[in-house]
Amino acid sequence: MNMVEKEFIKFMGRFDQNPFEIVLNGEKHLIGEGEPTFSVVFNKVPPISELMTSTSIALGEAYMDGDIQIEGDLYHVLNMFLGQMGKFSTDQKKLKKLYFTSFSKQNQKKEVSSHYDIGNDFYKLWLDETMCYSCGYFKNDTDTLYDAQCNKVDRTLEKLQLQEGMSLCDIGCGWGFLLIRAAKKYKVHGVGITLSQEQKKEFERRIKAENLEEYLSVELLDYRDLPKLGKQFDRVVSIGMVEHVGRKNYEEFMKCAKSVLKPGGVFLLHYISSLVEHPGDAWVKKYIFPGGVVPSLREMINIAGDLRFYTVDVESWRRHYSKTLLCWNHNFQEHRDEVVKMFDERFARMWELYLCACAATFMNGIIDLHQIVFTNDVNNDLPMTRWY
């Protein structure tokens, strides 16, 4: 081994929680003690300087470029490895532009569009027919992905205690399945907002196809412009959106939700959370969710209290999201050749790494998923029991 390779093996030696094998130039190197739980072939060694700047980016790009070959199941390897993310090196000073992006409306629209406007045809390949791109809820071991997404929406709507004729605002409405189901099941009038042109276009098509123009509409709107709608809603819901606004804007987001919610109204917030405040993963910021930051549970609860949002229910769906991501990856693998034709091999490797890594980080408790039900000030009319 040359000096670079020796430094690399020494660096990787810190990840010894679960023994594994590195194969380099045909030679095997055991990391940790005991029988290796997985094996990784390095066709090219990432420079130590890059590993020290961001272990996540260096190893992530090596996988994307084909410099890393996994022997066996990618999720299994990541599930064994990513529980040690606390040992990753991250130089935030060198990554300043990546970690500290602009919170302007223009830039946040650009960041959101970079992910959600990849193309509806791409997402249709591996999402189920609901087109829900958020955590499903697996009530039964036999539930399909479609079942889990319907369960998620139904459970969410039950928590909102909807009644016919009520109004509902969905902040970050995606492709609109929740509002469509709410309108059909409860005959509520709903408005969805999104920053994605592709999502808006597909949602409008679905509204027309379901003959729900009387009940639903969708706006291309920044959450900070919610007050400009000039409407007050009985209920507000937001699923998988607050992660995009940035830590400095969490309070602004909550204030905007409150501004369009009637007194005593119910606000359900569904989001990827963390145990403690963390700036986020560098590779995910660079390639998947630019500007994205995961809030901790406690900081959202604290903000809510300051705004007189009463917390009436909190539920963790962490393992449900891990299973959802594995379902998505299964679908993705079935259509992988089509993804390569749409984009290229590097994009396909990037996306499968994203899906499997997220599944592993949820399973390891690095991130969580919480649904919180708030009331806008006191509401004594809701059931006293956990009604759902």
DSSP 8-state secondary structure symbol assigned to residue 85: G
Q: With beta carbons less than 8 A apart as the criterion, state whether 327 and 151 touch.
A: no
Dihedral-angle region of residue 313 (phi above 0 means left; psi in -120 to 50 means alpha; beta otherwise): beta
What distances in angstroms separate CA 1 from CA 40, 67, 98, 137, 383, one per listed residue?
17, 17, 34, 49, 68
CA distance 50 to 58: 6
CA-closest candidate to residue 308, choices 247, 346, 249, 255? 255
**At what angle are helices 250-259 and 297-306 packed, to 10 degrees?**
50
Q: How many CA atoms lie within 13 A of 12 on its CB side?
A: 25
Q: Which residues contact 97 (CB under 8 A, 6 or more apart)?
A: none
| The dihedral formed by the CA atoms of 327, 135, 289 and 277, expressed in degrees to the nearest 10 | -130
173 in catalytic set: no
Residue 296 dihedral angles phi and psi, to the nearest 5°: -80, 160
Residue 278 CB neighbour total at 10 angstroms: 15
**Short-list 133, 103, 117, CA closest to 220:** 117
Catalytic residue among 169, 173, 256, 358: 358
List beta partners, residue 153.
Answer: none
Structural tokens at position 74: 């990618």
Q: For residues 148 and 136, what is the distance between their CA atoms, to the nearest angstrom?
A: 5
Smallest CA-to-CA distance from 100 within 251, 293, 319, 363 is with: 293
Tell me which residues are annotated as active site.
358
